[in-house]
Chain A
Amino acid sequence: MSVFIGMPGDFPANSAKAVQNSQLRFNLRKATHTIRGKRATVVGELPDWAELRAAGKAIKDHTLRHLDRYLVQLEEAVQRAGGQVHWARDAAEANRIVTDLVRQTGETEVVKVKSMATQEIGLNEHLAEHGITAYETDLAELIVQLGDDFPSHILVPAIHRNRSEIREIFLAKMGDAPADLTDEPAALAEAARLHLRERFLRSKVAISGANFMIAETGTCVVLESEGNGRMCLTLPETLISVVGIEKLLPTWRDLEVFLQLLPRSSTGERMNPYTSTWTGSTEGQTFHLVLLDNGRTNVLADEVGRQALRCIRCSACLNVCPVYERAGGHAYGSVYPGPIGAILTPQLRGLGSDLDASLPYASTLCGACFEVCPVAIDIPEVLVDLRAKVAHPRAERAGMRVAGWVLAKEVRLAKAQRLASRFRKLVPKRLPGPLSAWTDTRDLPDIPKESFREWWARNERA
């Protein structure tokens, strides 16, 4: 997975910078609180939400348990319906496959439906290196691409931008933007419509992802809102879909669960404006399906962490996360920001870099993410599990070892407490070293004259 350029730091450093940007904080707060409210309303409408959630979780777990069987079944079904299936072990292989497929068409331009998987593998950059221009067509992705920026939210990639910033980007970078463009969202959307319309009609090749793939029938499913997805899926002669292997569902019937869970969790609507399903080659189109591993089988091998593969990319966890709300998506240094990113990225990429090792700590374990997750991913559980696998800083390790030693026996704890009480007047208002992080903004509590256990011993004896 490509690390975002310009994000060399770790999460604490990235987020400390982001949190000082008051415009960003305002944009994020407004957006996340709006969508969180909408989600709560439409989820509240369904009396069987808990049952749908339980089914969604179990269907995904069952699929993962038999992923090998279902992948083969999917492959056969897609081929039977006239589609071609390709397998990619990693990003490099997927990029190579897609680039070759585009080259075979003789085209040098492709239109794209928003897809997390192709962002994960850095497909656009790879295509560009090989003389192929990829045009993002989702409005938010267009904003991100024109602004030479990075997505910061799974569903709303330009959530960090407000309308006046978007207007400036369009005026500067969109050749055909009207000079009198206002910052009204409707006007901005209209500018994007006109900008992309001709491109849709002209393009011969489209690249998409998929929200779901049905093993039984070979059907792919894309949920969207704007119609850019329909344009890409319908009009070009060749369609290439790059899909993570975990996106499988066993049967057609399973969609009855996920088409209820996903829109309500994601955009907070009863249903998103457009859902397209297609099976193999459709209406004369050439169809290629690229099945992507890129670390997923490693995640699958982890008994605790594999639940992250249930994720249907709804982004409900981002919208309720108090850390995401203040840090923004870029701080997570990956296409998967927020709580799900904090468990998915370090599992896909490994815990080697400072950034990836800091992600499991990018949470207070408040549990809001788990509560809203439509497939019940226990994100705090996975975070804690990952923390046990991270290489800890030496000073922290030493401190924790001492604390563990003191807490192992009550006599040691009692002795430490008496020591603290004796020197209680000498505790500085500002602590040294890493502990200064506490006293920078907070006062320390007063250390009491005697601990509870001393008080108890004294009273019970009396």
Chain B
Amino acid sequence: MRVALFITCVNDTLFPDTGKAVVSLLRRLGCDVDFPQAQTCCGQMHVNTGYRAEGVRLARHFAEVFDGYDAVVAPSGSCAAMVREQYPRLGVQAPPVHDLSEFLVDVLEVEDVGAYFPHRVTYHPTCHSLRGLHLGDRPTRLLRHVRGLELVPLEGADECCGFGGTFAIKNPAISAAMCSDKVRNVLDTGAEVLCAADNSCLMHIGGTLRRQKTGVRVMHLAEILDAR
């Protein structure tokens, strides 16, 4: 299957390892992965902050770049939800975008990707994956098949971490308060690794975990699924 990788601007710039993991994982599962190099950004930041005209320009560019692919895979529930939910409202034709776990479970129909990751992991489902894409238990089903991995439940998992894009900058006090509650719940699990399907949420929670010198690492789902 010929699959286009939509890396997302955040992953492209700050978290290339997530992209490398997706490529490696999908190739291992027999996909022909392409990275359309003209891609930039889905426009979510602009649209959600109130800069619709700029956002729509980026969305149109996105739609052109990914036109014609059987499937577009994104290691971000939030950006995938942006394309699927908001593009129609903006009058932009949405390419068939899948979040990574959706693509693995629904399209490739695999739950055991042959990964090995001998660590105690807790999973934060992220709002847009949960309520935008309705990913349900797909990510945790994938994690449960990872050999050596102990998945521990996260209290208040469905609650937002407080990132919210520019919310973190515009409402820093509430954002930090939400994150500190999330961090407390993460620490209560005793997990070594906090996993999610969105690096922006992980950047926020991980930044706080690091500032507090907790020793808990954050990892994108793709990187755990690619671990051997």
Contacts and interface: CB of A to CB of B under 8 A. Distances in A.
Interface of A: 11-12, 15-16, 19-20, 25, 322-323, 326-327, 358, 360-368, 370-371, 381, 384, 386-390, 392, 396, 400-401, 403-404, 407-410, 413, 416-417, 420, 434-435, 437-438, 440-445, 447-448, 450-453, 455-457, 460
Contacts of A444: 207
B16 A448 contact: yes
B49 to A, nearest CB: 6
Contacts of A404: 46, 51, 54, 57-58
Given A364-B162, A404-B51, A437 B37 contact: no
Nearest to A449: B16
Contacts of A368: 127, 131, 158-160
A369 B5 CA distance: 32
Contacts of B46: 400, 403-404
B65 to A, nearest CB: 9
Contacts of B216: none
Contacts of A366: 127, 131, 159-160, 164
A448 B179 CA distance: 25
Given A441-B172, A441-B176, A443-B211, A410 B37 contact: yes
Nearest to A421: B13
Given A365-B164, A388-B50, A403-B46, A417 B13 contact: yes
B51 A451 contact: no
A140 to B, nearest CB: 24
A322 B50 contact: no
B174 A437 contact: no
Contacts of A323: 171, 174, 178
25 contacts: A12-B170, A15-B171, A15-B174, A322-B160, A326-B177, A365-B165, A366-B131, A366-B164, A384-B48, A388-B47, A388-B51, A392-B51, A403-B45, A403-B46, A404-B51, A410-B38, A438-B172, A441-B180, A441-B207, A442-B179, A442-B210, A443-B208, A450-B16, A452-B12, A452-B20
B37 A457 contact: yes
B168 A437 contact: yes
Counting from the closest, the 3 A-B pairs by CB-CB distance are A364-B164, A442-B207, A387-B50
A438 B89 CA distance: 31
Contacts of B57: 404, 408
B39 interface: yes
Nearest to B78: A365
Given A361-B167, A440-B172, A408 B61 contact: yes
A408 B160 contact: no
Contacts of B52: 388
B149 interface: no
Given A366-B164, A367-B127, A443-B211, A392 B50 contact: yes
A407 B176 CA distance: 28
Given A403-B45, A416-B13, A451-B12, 5 more contacts: A15-B173, A361-B166, A365-B165, A404-B54, A434-B169
B127 A452 contact: no
B139 interface: no
Contacts of B160: 322, 364, 366, 368
Contacts of A396: 49
A363 B165 CA distance: 10
B135 to A, nearest CB: 13
A231 B48 CA distance: 47
A370 B81 CA distance: 15
A440 B169 CA distance: 10
B67 to A, nearest CB: 16
A396 B169 CA distance: 11
Contacts of A413: 9, 12-13, 40-41
A27 to B, nearest CB: 15
A456 B131 CA distance: 32
B163 interface: yes
B61 A420 contact: no
A438 B164 CA distance: 12
Contacts of A453: 7, 12, 35, 37
A386 B204 CA distance: 25
Nearest to B168: A438
Contacts of A457: 37
A445 B127 CA distance: 21
A365 B168 CA distance: 12
Contacts of A403: 45-46
B61 A441 contact: no
A441 B35 contact: no
A367 B40 contact: no
Given A361-B171, A455-B16, A387 B207 contact: no
Nearest to B169: A437
Contact of A441 (B127, B159, B179): B179
A358 B23 CA distance: 41
